[in-house]
Structure 1
């Protein structure tokens, strides 16, 4: 299994990456990290792979736009999360056009992909991808949904295709799972178990959102307004869950409250305060799963004056009370 990446204008600038069949052995997780200069940019490319799975994280800053040829000889289902940067690709045989937008996710089936991609310059590119061998992915793909059924049929025919014509919004819950994958410090078989569990959880969130949602396209705003919404999103995420008024956020983005409310929901599929609440609930779930704090302590940490208000908010989000997520010393701990 291999993929070759080459510069469209400089064929001498090429990278060829090899993988073991089906991504390697049964128990151990293999890791690779490449850091430095890539084509016209600089950044990191880190990989984890084990039987049936391949995880890749790319952080890159390009000095000029990059048009790159892609030539792979393997079949894969690709879970793609684009946190920042814009990338487009065209597959030569099927003429399939793929657009990866900031804060967007989608699922693709690639069969010996041959084509080219265009990478935007002068912006941080932050990509997270999970490759799954098709036989394994199909075990998780529901059949009740027409879109899923069509995707299954195309995979079985070997067609390169996308699950959805549009990207969907990356939610805070997805961000927390990806953070757990990237920062996992377990080793050996336990690392593999942990990663498999997180990949399944992340795939669940993707399939649920695509199944339940109408179109939540993140590509429908002009570039300038989309950049402003990314500034607002990133500002909210760095506030350590402290609230901020719409007027203050509008000033930060250089727009007005009406435009902020409309554009933010259009790009992220929720309101400003809805997104802030998703961040709180995602952190609450992570803290409760760690088991270091009680429900009351997590409630206070998130700024709730009444733990019952926190419990109701958590149940609305996850369908269960927060005490179910606490696990201490091998036993379920209830406040």
Structure 2
């Protein structure tokens, strides 16, 4: 079963059914556990205000059903580090599964559809930092951020900065230490604040490496990167009959392990997940034209099963292909 809610409906349901139910740390009034609405699932959100401008949220949830939230255009006023131990969340701008993270800057949060799967429990942490806090750490004497970090802070009419990635072993370790914090009171607050800032420091280091052109590809030789791009091109040219992974690795002259690891480094996902989402994005663009039937589009982008195409499209975009096509026609 799929539950579809507007952002306003979701917030209203949450406000009606969730009350501060527990202070897990009797020495910290700013550490509150909120039970999740029973209609949506079970579990909790634990919200810890570490200091003004820095907040930590731990989510441990089991969704009752798949949930789609229709989010309006709104302002995203904080920097957000979102790490998943388990569960999957995706929208038009990001996809985060177990062992992955997303980082969002401040700016405009566009109208979009957010999808939370019902297949897995969710264990995640979120760190929210107000821009003022970032400036207090990183601004120079003239009050400016380093050039590499300036895209993190955008105006309210500019779409927010977003980057997703696979968590490094160091990130995973720090996130796990946050979940397993053994302290209470002031010791807990100091410990968690230090861990939250450590994770943000890792993001800063990555951002600097990205801007310097050293991140992701620094462990791969140029000819290997070229072969990985060639593998991607082969997949996109063979939408109807993609090669097996072994065939693909032989075609580009890489062993399967190096191709697998290298593809994820370069593109941030597996080869066939990349192909899957490319097919769906091509289908969406074809649906935008309104000139073709859904069954024809499914064939064009390489889906043999029309029912599977419909299910996959709905999972990614929140609507069936037919519903999406009808919406596009109404908006013209």
TM-score, normalised by the number of residues in structure 1: 0.50
| 1:53 equivalent in alignment to 2:54 | yes
| 1:99 equivalent in alignment to 2:99 | no
In 2, are the aligned partners of 1:29 and 1:49 still within 8 Å (CA)? no
Between the two proteins, the alignment pairs up a number of residues equal to 212
In 1, are the aligned partners of 2:6 and 2:71 still within 8 Å (CA)? no
Which residue of structure 2 aligns with residue 319 of structure 1? Answer: none
**CA–CA separation in structure 2 for the residues paired with 1:86 and 1:120:** 6
In 1, are the aligned partners of 2:7 and 2:71 still within 8 Å (CA)? no
**CA–CA separation in structure 1 for the residues paired with 2:184 and 2:7:** 42
Which residue of structure 2 aligns with residue 93 of structure 1? Answer: none
Which residue of structure 2 aligns with residue 43 of structure 1? Answer: 43
In 2, are the aligned partners of 1:63 and 1:122 still within 8 Å (CA)? no
Which residue of structure 1 aligns with residue 84 of structure 2? Answer: 82
Which residue of structure 1 aligns with residue 321 of structure 2? Answer: none
Query: Once the 2 structures are TM-superposed, how far is the Cα of residue 112 of structure 1 from its aligned partner?
Result: 8.0
Matches within 5 A, 1:1-335: 7-8=5-6, 11=9, 14-16=13-15, 28=28, 30-35=30-35, 38-51=38-51, 52-70=53-71, 75-89=77-91, 97-110=93-106, 115=111, 116-141=113-138, 146-152=147-153, 154=154, 159-164=158-163, 167-213=164-210, 216=216, 258-267=255-264
**CA–CA separation in structure 2 for the residues paired with 1:212 and 1:162:** 17
In 2, are the aligned partners of 1:216 and 1:267 still within 8 Å (CA)? no
In 1, are the aligned partners of 2:178 and 2:195 still within 8 Å (CA)? yes
**CA–CA separation in structure 1 for the residues paired with 2:116 and 2:130:** 26
**CA–CA separation in structure 1 for the residues paired with 2:116 and 2:31:** 25
In 2, are the aligned partners of 1:84 and 1:103 still within 8 Å (CA)? yes
1:112–1:188 Cα change, 3 Å: farther
Query: Once the 2 structures are TM-superposed, how far is the Cα of residue 55 of structure 1 from its aligned partner?
Result: 0.9
1:230-251 deviation per Cα after TM superposition (whole angstroms, max 9, x unaligned): xxxxxxxxxxxxxxxxxxxxxx
- Structure 1 runs not aligned, ≥5 long: 1-5, 20-26, 91-96, 223-256, 270-335
Which has the larger Rg? 2
Query: Once the 2 structures are TM-superposed, how far is the Cα of residue 104 of structure 1 from its aligned partner?
Result: 2.2
**CA–CA separation in structure 1 for the residues paired with 2:215 and 2:86:** 20
Query: Once the 2 structures are TM-superposed, how far is the Cα of residue 70 of structure 1 from its aligned partner?
Result: 4.9
**CA–CA separation in structure 1 for the residues paired with 2:172 and 2:43:** 21
1:184-219 deviation per Cα after TM superposition (whole angstroms, max 9, x unaligned): 2333333222222212211111221232245759xx
Query: Once the 2 structures are TM-superposed, how far is the Cα of residue 175 of structure 1 from its aligned partner?
Result: 1.6
Q: State the secondary structure of the residue aligned to 1:16.
A: helix
**CA–CA separation in structure 1 for the residues paired with 2:97 and 2:146:** 25
1:136–1:28 Cα change, 3 Å: farther
In 1, are the aligned partners of 2:67 and 2:117 still within 8 Å (CA)? yes
**CA–CA separation in structure 1 for the residues paired with 2:7 and 2:202:** 40
1:282-320 deviation per Cα after TM superposition (whole angstroms, max 9, x unaligned): xxxxxxxxxxxxxxxxxxxxxxxxxxxxxxxxxxxxxxx
Query: Once the 2 structures are TM-superposed, how far is the Cα of residue 106 of structure 1 from its aligned partner?
Result: 3.1
Q: How well do the aligned residues superpose, as a CA RMSD in angstroms? A: 4.2
**CA–CA separation in structure 2 for the residues paired with 1:9 and 1:75:** 17
**CA–CA separation in structure 2 for the residues paired with 1:108 and 1:68:** 18
- Structure 2 runs not aligned, ≥5 long: 20-26, 218-228, 233-253, 267-332
> Higher strand share goes to which structure?
1
Query: Once the 2 structures are TM-superposed, how far is the Cα of residue 159 of structure 1 from its aligned partner?
Result: 4.2
TM-score, normalised by the number of residues in structure 2: 0.51
Q: State the secondary structure of the residue aligned to 1:185.
A: coil
**CA–CA separation in structure 2 for the residues paired with 1:67 and 1:183:** 30
